[in-house]
Copies of this chain bind each other. A is one copy, B any other.
């Protein structure tokens, strides 16, 4: 039985393709859109089309940007000999908010994940190699997450980049600041011990 008519069903189907949206949420979103004023719906679709149209990857770091070269890569205040490799633009934003890093970034747009059929060629690794050849950085910081995929990608990159004469570093994992040691998980504790430094 077709309860709502085909155009609604198609809309529900489209919403349920989005990541993290199940069938109930997709219904809720579809009904919300249909109950909106027509001009609000047009505003929504135009914003999507405009973003898709105007946003490209920065030609240097592969972050999203509406310019050929993003603000960070174009800035003369940043040290382009120090490149932090991140999975996602959100990781880049998180580091920027610390105001504690004056190097530049390289956004992979994913992690190596054989189970999801994502290999090195699906990431922005070719662009990273090009960049290293051109800009001759002195240090590459591998700042992928400490998940299985994040570790695998970091190890892959470490091996790949060993052909260049660059220092390859990995961000530190350990007890988060303010956290209680007795509640930390075993792997975090082991990492904190392994990464101990002279005091």
Contact = CB atoms under 8 A, between A and B. Distances in A.
A66 interface: yes
A31 B89 CA distance: 9
Interface string A1-42: 111111110110010001111000101111111111010011
Contact of A51 (B7, B63, B64, B67): B7
B35 A28 contact: no
Given A3-B93, A3-B96, A31-B88, A48 B41 contact: yes
A133 interface: no
A3 B92 contact: yes
Contacts of A66: 5-8
Given A3-B96, A54-B5, A92-B3, A29 B25 contact: no
A97 to B, nearest CB: 8
What bracket does the count of chain A residues touching chain B fall in?
Answer: 35 or more
A164 interface: no
16 contacts: A4-B63, A5-B54, A5-B70, A7-B50, A7-B53, A7-B54, A8-B51, A14-B47, A14-B48, A19-B32, A27-B90, A31-B88, A36-B52, A41-B48, A42-B49, A45-B49
Interface of A: 1-8, 10-11, 14, 18-21, 25, 27-36, 38, 41-45, 47-55, 63-67, 70-71, 88-90, 92-93, 96, 109
Given A7-B50, A42-B49, 8 more contacts: A2-B71, A4-B89, A5-B65, A5-B70, A10-B50, A14-B48, A19-B28, A34-B52
